Structure 1
């Protein structure tokens, strides 16, 4: 890993043991840019393409989304918290991820981004409105930065269940009966992407959008070659934000891995999962609690096999926490829960995966036999 990116002043090293067993070694990637073009405030929404919007809406409602708007060519999904729609599903020939949209802190940031990148600010002429700068990251994902979209009012929440814990007894003469219903989505949390151009893509998000790294993962015996996964958050100064808004990992494919949506609590995750199972949907992995991010998780496949996650109780970090460093492994993905499945890890050796591996090995990127062997070992540790 190049060490010509000077470590910016300010971040504390006092809390590394709270989220990782290692801190950075001298000369390793600092996990943030000294002078980013802008600092985005949050992940606004994700865009997908689906051939059957009616089927997409059925799953969306079963998963816990509310429908904010529907047109002949698009479906706009939202959570209960106030804000913009958090998922846009567009009519298309295939089922695929199109790209993320990040929210700028102000209109001036859009203008600054436009000047720096040569991409103009334009009006969004669809539901929600606002202005947008359309970019592409080094992996080829379209990335939108938006401002001024309509902020939708809050919807009724799925209240957390009162718990009797130790000496705290908040519930008497009353039973617990969580309803068997969809786990009501509150908001979009994060998206995870795979790329064979990991370092270049990582630096682009830090330099251009001002994101900062919460945790790095590296391959066993290859730490000197730099990280192979990064959990990345927005930088809102002293305001705590999600442990990661974007996560990326090195791999032979360029594509979407999963996206995550916050729900109320563990009962919402479990009862909502039972509701999905009874309707024939397939769980990919869960229920458990992650290490990086600490959130409770449950992963599902939609009818087109795209992976989505219910989560609750995520870590919140402010700008002062420096990145943690830990080895990458399947067993290191969770503190408790069932072992990570091959379906979740994307480790099933399909013909399509083999073609992607061969193509990646022949291309100009970060995938070479050593990296590929290290990734395979990590998925079996």
Structure 2
């Protein structure tokens, strides 16, 4: 993992290249807290409510989840890697995202958070058990930090194909025939959230959970006003971790954008996508390769219109890497792939979205007419 030789317009960083600036300018905001309360180790799971758990389970299996536990009103989903489950879906009157749960590095972290929040520590009903502290971020998302008692054991993997690379072939007298089957999800990678209080929310995740920024995005002509999107990773010191575990972006709404799940390789993405298409599910955007994070991606909508991503081959950064800075633009979302869709960008007009915009422009948040026009321009640039 290359180390940055620290900040400044001329600094050499891991972020140089397509649609990337060279780093922070003098006086721009840092990407980490000097003294965070704790440092979370990773995402644990995401929590949803849905009225039809049977339909949710059918899609989950088709997308590549495995069922960790099922009760009349609760569905726990997991990947193949050992560890906590990826998702819990509880029966509710309407389909909605509740919030993320992060994994504490040690049990004592829960005590620190409980003292900060003035709340108690309770047992969690997840497979494997454990304890949890309930928090609330500045956007209003319930955020849970959990210490798991036991890891779920690993499940059989989807083996990567053996590939021939030009002058270095490694496969002879054997044909490639990847099965047309669901991608076997390995683990939860990240979640992306929209918020009207971007700066407050970002500071909270850095100060409270000890996360650090991998990349900032800013609006064209508004860099002096600060970033409007941040890709945030966990800080595990010299151990390289996912480029982003959480991404936040400024917008008129407050809610879930998408979540991403790691699979074995490009063939797992493509064959799994064919399987989903054959069953009538809707692709939102893909297949392509991102810029920030570099991962291969493919986005799908579930029957409740939540967006989920298959991904592989993402960047891994240690704590040595300082944030990159780049302009926000639709063309800056991918190195290659089909043009980004309006569905992925959330740019399809609807009465509900218009109401969100009008409320945001009148509310106590960071969205003003200049910011809104800048976001609209970014979606078409």
Normalising by structure 2, report the TM-score.
Answer: 0.96
- For residues 201-228 of structure 1, the C-alpha deviation after alignment (integer angstroms, 9 at most, x for no partner) is 0000000000000000000000000000
- Report how far residue 22 of structure 1 moved: 2.7
- How far does residue 17 in structure 1 lie from its aligned partner after superposition? 3.7
Matched residue, 1:157: 157
Correspondence for 1:208: 208
Q: Output the CA distance in 1 between the equivalents of 2:186 and 2:161.
A: 16
- Quick check: 1:135 aligned with 2:135? yes
Corresponding residue number in structure 1 for 2:329: 329
Q: Secondary structure at the match of 1:132?
A: strand
Deviation at 1:168, TM superposition (A): 1.4
Map of 1:179 onto structure 2? 179
Tell me what 1:199 maps to.
199
CA–CA separation in structure 2 for the residues paired with 1:12 and 1:176: 45
Where does residue 101 of structure 2 map in the other structure?
Answer: 101
1:218 aligns with 2:218: yes
What is residue 90 of structure 2 aligned with on the other side?
90
Q: How does 1:107-122 map to 2 (within 5 A)?
A: 107-122=107-122
Computed over aligned residues only, the root mean square deviation of the Cα atoms, in angstroms, reads: 1.2
Q: In structure 2, what is the Cα distance between the partners aligned to 1:70 and 1:121?
A: 25
Partner of 2:240 in structure 1? 240
Say which SS state the counterpart of residue 33 (structure 1) adopts: coil
Q: Distance in 1 between matches of 2:233 and 2:291?
A: 16
How far off is 1:72 after superposition? 0.8
Q: How does 1:208-287 map to 2 (within 5 A)?
A: 208-287=208-287
Q: 2:13 aligns with which of 12, 15, 30?
A: 15
Shift of 1:363: 0.3
Match of 1:5 in 2: none
Q: C-alpha displacement at 1:124, in angstroms? A: 1.6
Contact 1:11 1:319 in 2 (8 A): no
**Contact preservation (8 Å) 1:16, 1:23:** no
Q: CA deviation at 1:121?
A: 1.5
Segments of structure 2 that go 5 or more residues without pairing to the other structure are none
Who is 1:170 aligned against? 170
Measured in 2, the distance between the counterparts of 1:249 and 1:194 equals 5
Contact 2:260 2:310 in 1 (8 A): yes
| Aligned-pair CA distance for 1:128 | 2.8
Residue 300 of structure 1 pairs with residue 300 of structure 2: yes
Give the match's secondary structure for 1:256.
strand
What SS does the aligned partner of 2:182 have? coil
**Is the 8 Å Cα contact of residues 13 and 23 (structure 2) preserved in structure 1?**
no
- Structure 1 residue 11, shift from structure 2 partner: 7.9
Q: Equivalent residue for 1:288?
A: 288
Deviations 1:328-380, CA, capped at 9 Å, x for gaps: 00010000001110000000110000000000001010011000000000000
SS state of the match for residue 273, structure 1?
helix
Q: Secondary structure at the match of 1:286?
A: strand
Q: Which residue of 2 aligns with 1:375?
A: 375
Post-superposition offset of 1:126 = 4.7
CA distance, structure 1, for counterparts of residue 124 and residue 281 of structure 2: 35
Q: Deviations over 1:16-68 (max 9, x none)?
A: 44473231011111010000000000000001111100000000000000101
SS in 1 for 2:376: helix
Counterpart secondary structure, 2:355: helix
Greater mean alpha carbon deviation, residues 209-218 or residues 149-158: 149-158
Q: Contact 2:259 / 2:308 at 8 angstroms: preserved in 1?
A: yes
By how many angstroms is 1:162 displaced? Answer: 0.3
Q: Distance in 2 between matches of 1:118 and 1:312?
A: 40
Q: What secondary structure sits across from 1:379 in the alignment?
A: helix
C-alpha contact 1:53 1:89 (8 A) present in aligned 2: yes
Give the paired residue count: 372
